[in-house]
Structure 1
Amino acid sequence: MANESEQTKLTFKLASFEGPLDLLLHLIKQNEMDIYDIPMVTITSQYLAYLHQMQTLELDIAGEYLVMAATLLNIKSKMLLPNQPVEVEADYEDPREDLVQQLVLHQTFQLAAEKLKDFATERQKSVGREQAQVPSDAKLGQLKAGATTVANLQQAFARLLAKKQLVKPVKRQVYQERYNLKDTLVVLKQKIRQAKAPIYFDSLFADQTDLEQVVTTFLALLELVKQGTVVAKQEVTLGPILMISGEKDAF
């Protein structure tokens, strides 16, 4: 019978509270108290009543709960002391101050933990795509031996777009596709191949005012550089970029 009694004893921990600060915050919210002006008589009596309830249910009470009980009783006793003389009030320190700071900090961490939990729940609803493998024959960083880099081309293109921005507001209209990447590839390839000297990167866009045309030309130029049909060179750091035909019979 003794063994059965031991087995049926309630020894679980209340999941609602992870510590005495959790319990105090619960009591403060339940009674709609001001956390910065806690009525110590009420909160202490309710806290002790809760501990007695735990003992009645034969729940294990951690030592930290008892330490907090002693702290509350100590603060309560200080609050019940007679009023201090007027000349001492200037140096008076509220005995609740340390407890309030602990509760505010703990509440901040609680709110942050709830936010992170919400973010984790939302993230679980999404399925990420696995990173694609880089092709073994891909040329990373340097486009060709002695050539400039993709980053330099991107920077040059950004500077080109900045120059073409108009001061007045830009009005946009939706049109059908007017510039074809395939046709632009052919035009650029012929223009660079038939040139008697290297062509400046900026000059390829000199007569273009339409943003769609500028972007199409830049994409076509990147494709030609990727194929090796055109080589981009920059002799001086931050200097002009020259576009040269990559075909052997050019120039």
Structure 2
Amino acid sequence: MDYQVKVENFEGPMDLLLFFIQRDKLNIYDIPIAHITKEFLDYMKLMDMMNIDLGGEFVYMASLLMKIKAKMLLPVSDEDVEQIEDPRTPLVQRLLEYQQYKKVGEQLQEIYSDHAVHFPIGQEMTYDASSEKNINPVQNVTLFTLSSIFQELINRLPDVNPYELHEEPIQLDEQIAFLIGEINSTKRLSFTILIPILKTRLRIVVTFMAILEMLRTNQITIEQNEPFGELILMRAVA
């Protein structure tokens, strides 16, 4: 019996889990944990046979899946059914947030590609997408919240008119410097002040990338004191 294997390139364990869920048409809110654990471990065995080091994050996810599987095999009395949280719930929440993050990332890349054709020859907009992998938003603000706000801003703006092109040189490091200047002058930069300044889709996209980079390098923190409340950018405490 021939066994044909196609090796996919996954950014991390969450990316791999989403692939299995989409490929097998699984309900993300009711993940068959035994099935998904077997698929995950089989993939790790395949990579090991090919001498491909997946890294500690895959090992951690494998142990987490097996732990969840073990918990779900434990007997639960009828009285405790409604009181005990589904062991899969934290994983489902992480998958949903990662799914949204990935979706927004793809939309931003489409916008970036659309605007790239409008740059004059020689004008560069540099950005390393791999720098987003270890982003950890702080102060009660999730990446889902941040990306949703910027997506809403983008949707409010009119589409680019290809017959009304204006040269708008803008680079990631320039927006980082701009944000640092604004935060230094105000100490606490609110989005209500920042939003009117960002008049084009391109500037919103690059500003979003700049904020992600500054979060990754611990230059800033973002604060939200209540759900749907004002977002505040501040310099990180050294």
Higher relative contact order (CA 8 A, sep 6+): 2
Q: TM-score, normalised by structure 1?
A: 0.45
